[in-house]
């Protein structure tokens, strides 16, 4: 009787880069969570330069861990990475850049490592600006115009972004898409969506019915955008767990919001006082996005718009982006742009109500 001989499996190495990637069984979805964890192994090209790569006391590895939130473990002639898929990808790109530098020099400075981390983050932001990864299975959101690409890039690279433009330019839709993408990647823990209930004078307590009945008419456009990014049950689950909040602007007083993406829609209908209240809700590791159309102010006659006031006051402050979209960025039905043009040509007429 012949017995089959078992040959030991050979470890496959990439001849170009000398690294081994571990994929089998490493991708797993965390139930109910916004992250997807992966494991990745990278071979050390020059084991004799391990100290230069890792830094004194593993300082360079600590920089990577603190900047990107990944775990790094050295085993023999490999470095094992684990964590969120996108962050692990960034860390791998940084390590490859560091190893390339060590081909031509014997040491790495802290500045070299910091520059490599910044380069990887910039590359990721550029890729994200072209395609926004949301929860909907098999779906990504793509900016369709150059103006929209600038807007998405601004949201990804600034703590506060103010965006103005006419109806149909995607101001709110793209803001919600970026928020969903940041939640999915673990860069944000919560999403807060707010609108001023200007038709009720923000006095929702005097309206009949429970809270949900009161706010639904004002917040429906935000729910519509959310349901394009994730299924109904996921939206419901996130709202029950306070991962997503959709609230009137008046309900934000007295709060400080950390590790959130905070979106204020229809901001042209805020007063300067309301806008200041909203902007000062920004907490640690949060991003804030403010959208509106200054041509559609529904405030009482003589009242100043908080959006217009904020754009004037905040212009030129580092960390704040102000983006203006125009008719060329309208991506709704082909007639929408013609309708907007017709209203703009009519003296004293206002365009249709915004619902980006």
Provide the pLDDT for residue 336.
77
Domains with residue ranges and CATH for the chain: 28-127 (3.30.1370.10), 137-345 (3.40.50.300)
Tokens of 237: 């689950």
Provide the pLDDT for residue 219.
75
Q: Residue 85 burial (CB < 10 Å; 0-12/13-18/19+)?
A: middle
Q: What is the pTM of this model?
A: 0.61
Along the chain (356 residues), what's the average pLDDT of each consecutive run of 10 residues?
Answer: 48 39 34 59 87 92 88 88 84 87 89 83 60 70 90 93 94 94 84 77 46 62 86 88 89 90 95 96 94 92 94 94 93 78 68 46
Closest-CA residue to 49 (of 112, 90, 12, 104): 104
Residues 6+ apart with CB under 8 A from 284: 258, 259
- Long-range CB pairs of 108-116 (<8 Å, 24+ gap) are 108/52, 108/53, 108/55, 108/60, 110/55, 110/59, 110/60, 110/63, 113/55, 113/60, 113/63, 113/64, 114/63
d(CA 139, CA 353): 29
Provide the pLDDT for residue 21.
36
Kind of pairing between the strands at 132-133 and 320-324: unpaired
């Amino acid at each position: 009787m012949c017995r089959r001989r078992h040959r030991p499996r050979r470890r496959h190495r990439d001849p170009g880069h000398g690294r081994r990637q571990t994929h089998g069984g490493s991708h797993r979805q965390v139930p109910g969570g916004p992250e997807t964890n992966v494991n990745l192994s990278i071979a050390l090209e020059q084991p004799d330069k391990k100290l230069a790569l890792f830094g004194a006391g593993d300082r360079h590895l600590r920089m990577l861990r603190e900047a990107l939130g990944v775990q790094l473990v050295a085993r023999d002639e490999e470095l094992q990475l684990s964590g969120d898929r996108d962050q692990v990808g960034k860390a791998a790109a940084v390590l490859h850049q560091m190893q390339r530098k060590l081909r031509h020099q014997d040491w790495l400075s802290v500045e070299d490592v910091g520059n490599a981390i910044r380069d990887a983050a910039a590359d990721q932001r550029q890729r994200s600006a072209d395609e926004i990864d949301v929860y909907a299975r098999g779906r990504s959101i793509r900016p369709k115009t150059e103006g929209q690409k600038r807007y998405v890039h601004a949201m990804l690279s600034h703590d506060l972004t103010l965006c103005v433009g006419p109806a149909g330019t995607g101001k709110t839709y793209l803001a919600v898409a970026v928020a969903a993408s940041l939640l999915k990647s673990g860069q944000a823990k919560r999403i807060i969506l707010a609108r001023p209930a200007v038709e009720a004078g923000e006095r929702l307590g005097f309206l009949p019915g429970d809270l949900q009945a009161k706010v639904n008419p004002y917040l429906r456009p935000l729910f519509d955008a959310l349901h394009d990014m994730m299924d109904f049950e996921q939206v419901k689950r996130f709202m029950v767990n306070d991962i997503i909040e959709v609230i009137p602007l008046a309900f934000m007083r007295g709060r400080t919001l950390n590790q959130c993406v905070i979106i204020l829609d229809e901001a042209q209908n805020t007063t300067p006082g309301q806008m200041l209240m909203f902007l000062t809700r920004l907490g640690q590791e949060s991003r804030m996005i403010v959208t509106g159309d200054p041509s559609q102010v529904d405030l009482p006659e003589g009242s100043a718009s908080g959006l217009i006031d904020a754009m004037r006051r905040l212009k030129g402050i580092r960390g704040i982006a102000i983006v203006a979209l125009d008719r060329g960025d309208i991506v709704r039905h082909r007639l929408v742009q013609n309708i907007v043009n017709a209203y703009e040509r009519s003296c004293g007429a206002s365009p249709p109500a915004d619902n980006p």
